[in-house]
Structure 1
Amino acid sequence: MIKNNSFILKSIHSLINWIEQNDYSSYDHYDFWSSKIGIVGRRIFSMNKLIGMPIVAFLNSLDVCLPQSRKIFAMKDRSAEAIPRIAMGYFRLYQMTNEMNYLNLGCKLLGWLKENASNTEHGCGWGLHFDWEGKVFVKKGTPCVTLTAYATEAFLEGHRLTKEEIYRETAEKTGEFVACDLNRKVMSYGIALSYTPTNQNYVINANSYAARILASLMRENSDDWMKRELVEKIINYIVTQQNSDGSWFYFDRDDVQENRNFIDSFHTCFVLENLYWIWKWNKSENLKKSIDKGYEFFIKQFITTDHSVRYYYYYPYPNGIKVDIRGCAETIYCLTLLSDLYPEAINLARKVAKWTINNMQDKKGFFYFRTYRTHRNKFPYIRWGQAPMFNALTFLLSKLTS
């Protein structure tokens, strides 16, 4: 089976060489918007589009047409979003090859993660390595439930492979962060948790990550009935937020109007992946129906005839994006994961991987950022493209060769 999938193995080796040569760091696709001028520009734009438009248009033009100019605004850095996904890739390579070097590299990255955790009132989490402006200003390092979920997964896997208790203890702290430190919106049909402890943004994929963190920890400790009840209420919220066609908007559709909301490929993948992990734990029939609807929508609307991945299904503004590497990576991972339910998905994942490697991977090993209708942005971002692709390709290869 390795021989038939040698193109995947070759791609993985080329990619990890680039990642290691760059010491797990890179510029970020958000560099312009996390700069002082970017934060101020977006803030002005949100208050007065006419006044803020020149700043936003200028930075967007640089981002799309001259991505190398971000070197003026930022420096290369490691990302707590990328590191756990790279660690998971190393752990899979270790399990496929029995080479201790991969296990040691993965554990070394867990050490970096532990040193760079952000302590909260009740637990710990991880945040982006830059300031960012959403509905409110969020400081660098503020724990996000999405990033924290990747770290939780990596620490639990590290514990499974090494039996090091410090990994399990660190993972358990993330459960306390989710259960106790995030803001809540309580409804008759469920509960939604905020993206970070400092805002009131209720995002569908973030809630699926929150539920997954709690469910994964409950596999270790099934006696925590308060967390079990919270998971069930979050799942009720996510299922209720699903649209009739099987899709999910990014933001809570009751909080954000449709003309300011969107539906894209990789956030849809996040929701499906996390719901599947939770379904494996609770075997809910209602949840399975939601996954079925979401899967049918996804393969129909996002995977094209040449097996590239469409970025947006719905976006209220012109953008010109055809393919985004994050969409490719998460599609490969999601289809591989869901192949346990839908056997045809594994072959589809392989075809998407082949298209992505042939069309989006540079000879130096890294993957390009985006393909627009007018040109291709080849700038490599470890958080956005390289770590998700390493995570996805190692997962696909492990599944194909098991």
Structure 2
Amino acid sequence: QLQFRGPSATRGYFHNPEANRRLLKGEWLDSGDLAYMAGGDLYLTGRAKDIIIKAGRNIYPQEVEQAVSEVPGVRKGCVALFGSRDPETGTERIVLLAETREQDPEARERLRRQIEAVANDLLGMPLDDLVLAPPQTVPKTSSGKIRRAASRELYEQGMPSQGRRQVWLQFLRLALSALLPQMRRLGRSVAEFTYAGYAWLLFTLFAVPVWSLVVALPSIKARWWVMGRSARLLSRLLGIDVRVDGIERLPRDRQLVLTANHASYLDGILLVATLPIRFVFIAKVELQRQLIPRLFLTRVGCEFVERNDARQGLADSRRITERVKRGENLLFFPEGTFDRMPGLLPFRMGAFMVAAEAGVPVVPVAIQGTRSLLRAESWMPRRGEVLISVAEPVMPVSSEWSAVVELRDRVRQAILRRPGEPDASE
């Protein structure tokens, strides 16, 4: 059976514990599909609930339905094979429901014998019941798939004859089937735009006073207090459910280098809101050339680094290493940027060179969910959940280049092992 999980998976059915019991399997969701893997590709074979168990055999309905659809007189794609429990014996009966336009009793009897012969050849056993029904009887989804469970319910309720619907009723049903999805999409769009407007209103209301206080307050401790309280309040007002796993793994008795995957503009805000330590942001030098970000980031102790000039980058690395040796913690986003599509990008070496030179541990931090809240190149915030996972600290062995490369690879693997981001370097 096919099970799946991911940031966009549902949390379950609303007020339906029985359905949730069938759906939720720990961290995984049961799709209800049967599938197999071949050559790295996933192939779906059908729905688990459609399997008929008879005399210890698993019977798959698709092959029989397709063969019966080819019998002259049977409407193509309007055949359903399903199991129905016999209340007297408690066993499952094999029932075939087929649509036909035939009205003549003799023609219907010939058709019945043909269908029974085809089904018997494929099943190796006779049908327990065969129902010839008028057109529009077999229930289908909006995409034309046979609804076998609904067919079974119809059969067990005594097969109320639908016959041919009146033309005006068919047109009405068609119009409604086209209109309802449009209305649902419109409702979702209105809700998304409403939430985005609310989120940007909050961002604006927070940005001005927080920026002003951080720039004006005399001590770094007071500035961080304002940032932390504001970040926590903002995340609550936005309805973002932030969970932190492994916070006890953060060393409290020594300096450290935090390395986190970068998925959204919200990453830094949520790390400030959740991590119980103060740290120095390492940011790209381009932000130093913009007045408003430069004033704010400088006041919170941020270090700006050059990513494209090797000589200047080496000087930046030495300066940052001295800050660690003076007792400060650092936060790097070693990917250097983030992208709209999911995936952990290759890591730059700066964070690991600094940790090796200073002899301090590197703490991998995996952030899951922020990309869905606010993607790159998008200004449409969305509500959602975020999981911040703190892994075990990784201690550098030496400052030799090969050891630093190994340190980088170990940290990257620690982040990849957490759920969320696939490897985008392959």
Fold shared per TM-score above 0.5: no
> Which structure ranks higher in relative contact order (CA pairs < 8 Å, sequence separation ≥ 6)?
1
Greater gyration radius: 2
Q: Which category of TM-score, normalised to the shorter sequence, fits these structures?
A: under 0.3
Scaled by the length of structure 1, what TM-score is found?
Answer: 0.22
Q: Give 1 or 2: higher strand fraction.
A: 2
